[in-house]
């Protein structure tokens, strides 16, 4: 198989993995907030705990997804910093 085809397939696989991770994070957020509307509001507003970043923007990178995941865990267990 041509290396450019392999690269394209690998890039597609990475995008699929990323999309699945983001979708899972969104579903977890809805469960944590117990209200899709409240979660969507939180997800699209700047968050002081996240360095005044917007969670919806942070999830575009693996590191950002981890920050959002960690914050959802704190919210879930009411461990606000």
Tokens representing residue 25 in the block: 């994070």
- Mean pLDDT for 51-57 is 97
- Mean pLDDT for 6-25 is 78
Gap between the Cα atoms of 66 and 56, Å rounded: 12
The DSSP secondary structure of 24-50, one letter per residue, reads HHHHHHHHHHT-HHHHHHHHHS-BGGG
Nearest to 65 by CA among 12, 23, 10: 23
DSSP state of 1: -
Nearest to 75 by CA among 42, 40, 27: 42
Q: What is the pLDDT of residues 16-36, one digit of tens each?
A: 889 999 999 999 999 999 999
């Amino acid at each position: 198989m041509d290396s450019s085809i392999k690269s394209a397939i690998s890039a597609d696989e990475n995008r699929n993995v990323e999309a699945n991770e983001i979708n899972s994070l969104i579903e977890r957020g809805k469960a944590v907030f117990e209200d899709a509307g409240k979660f969507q509001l939180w997800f699209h507003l700047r968050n002081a705990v996240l360095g005044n970043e917007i969670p919806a923007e942070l999830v575009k990178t693996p590191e950002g997804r981890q920050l959002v995941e960690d914050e959802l865990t704190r919210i879930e267990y009411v461990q606000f910093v």
